[in-house]
Structure 1
Amino acid sequence: MITQHPEREQILLENVLSALGNPLRLHVVRVLAAGGEHNCSNVLEGVSKSTLTHHWRVLRESGVIWQRPSGRENLLSLRREDLDARFPGLLDVLLEAVNSGASSVAPHGAQPMADARRG
């Protein structure tokens, strides 16, 4: 069972900004912002499972993503509604900066999946 999803009121700006200060995690948010749930093993290629597990934990505990078990996998989705309620416009500004090339979208060694390249 996956725990440690903060309630909406418990999501703190400093935790969200810290989580999104990492280029890999920011890229994950860009992928998830396209909507729907994504299998955790299909968001990025070329990153070890232990590294991904760490990044999912940081994003989950900061309140940026929902993570839920589905069989032998976990599904990830962006907590867009909660983040927009707590910090109106924050995700839009961050995603606009990423999409305009003002930020790195995938760190060295990480390869975006095919549907991430469309966004």
Structure 2
Amino acid sequence: MRPAAPVTSSRDLPHPAREEIRLEGVLHALSDPMRLRIVRELAAGAGDELSCSHFDLPVTKSTTTHHFRVLRESGVIRQVYRGTAKMNGLRQEDLDVLFPGLLASLLAAAGRQATRLGAAG
């Protein structure tokens, strides 16, 4: 007998289970400069969740929403509602178990690139 599915509300957002996360999906999500910027900010937060409004991206609100959805659906971030705020957290443990060293290497390379190009974000 399978355990009962967790009760979900209309505000629950779909996330892939750890075993459903695919390398190509993660790499696609992180190939966009805005999404990589979001992930770098989340990683700098040392495990803290950040609200969507925390991120000051030079794109429209609908484009920002799209970027967060791609990151969530690929398994890079987890989004949950806390009151009226949509909070974002990096799924670092899941990614480290599935792809050891990948996230750390990508974040280090992104940091070196930002330094080389003279960009803070």
TM-score by length of 2: 0.81
Other-structure match for 1:114: none
Residue 48 of structure 1 deviates from its aligned partner by: 1.8
Other-structure match for 1:109: none
Equivalent-residue separation in structure 2 for 1:52 and 1:2 (angstroms)? 19
Residue 41 of structure 1 deviates from its aligned partner by: 1.1
Which residue among 6, 21, 36 is the counterpart of 1:11? 21
Equivalent-residue separation in structure 2 for 1:91 and 1:46 (angstroms)? 24
Residue 47 of structure 1 deviates from its aligned partner by: 2.6
Q: Does 1:51 align with 2:63?
A: yes
2:13–2:80 CA contact under 8 A, matched in 1:
no
Greater relative contact order (Cα 8 A, min sep 6): structure 1 or 2? 1
Alignment of structure 1 residues 1-119 onto 2, 5 Å:
1-34=11-44, 35=46, 36-101=48-113
Secondary structure at the counterpart of residue 53 of structure 1: helix
Equivalent-residue separation in structure 1 for 2:30 and 2:12 (angstroms)? 21
Equivalent-residue separation in structure 2 for 1:3 and 1:39 (angstroms)? 15
Of stretches 94-103 and 58-67 in structure 1, the one that deviates more from structure 2 is 94-103
Residue 77 of structure 1 deviates from its aligned partner by: 0.7
Bigger radius of gyration, 1 or 2?
A: 2
User: Which structure 1 residue ranges, 4+ long, deviate > 4 Å from structure 2?
Assistant: none
Residue 12 of structure 1 deviates from its aligned partner by: 0.2
User: Partner amino acid for 1:24?
Assistant: M
Q: How many residues align?
A: 108
TM-score by length of 1: 0.82
What do you get for the CA RMSD once the two structures are aligned? 2.2
Other-structure match for 2:3: none
User: Partner amino acid for 1:85?
Assistant: V
Structure 1, gaps ≥5 residues long: 107-116
2:57–2:64 CA contact under 8 A, matched in 1:
no
Of stretches 68-77 and 20-29 in structure 1, the one that deviates more from structure 2 is 68-77
Secondary structure at the counterpart of residue 5 of structure 1: coil
